[in-house]
Amino acid sequence: MDGDADARMILLKIREMVERGEDGVMYGDRRQARHDVDVLLGKPTAQGVGHLLGPTGKFQELSLECCWGRKFIELAAELDKLMGLD
């Protein structure tokens, strides 16, 4: 598998957690969170991943609020390594 395909697999896992979770105060609505992941799914970039999934970013806050923070941190770390952000 290439790097983009691996990144997309991780992003799909994050999207699934968003879909199963609650809206959360950070987004207010899952549609926006799904849209943000879908944008990255279209073209995963280091800048996009760093902005959206970084510490104190929207998804980290959402994951903590919706009780999937530990899994999110694992996936974000894996994605950071893959994208050369670690």
pLDDT given at position 1: 47
Q: Which residues lie below 8 Å from residue 28, measured CB to CB, with a gap of 6+? A: none
Task: Count the domains in the chain.
Answer: 1
**Residues of the chain where predicted confidence (pLDDT) is lower than 50:** 1
pLDDT given at position 33: 86
Residues of the domain holding 33: 3-83
Residues 26, 65 contacting (CB under 8 angstroms) = yes
Using one digit for the tens of pLDDT, what is the confidence trace for 61-81? 888 888 888 999 999 899 888
pTM equals 0.82
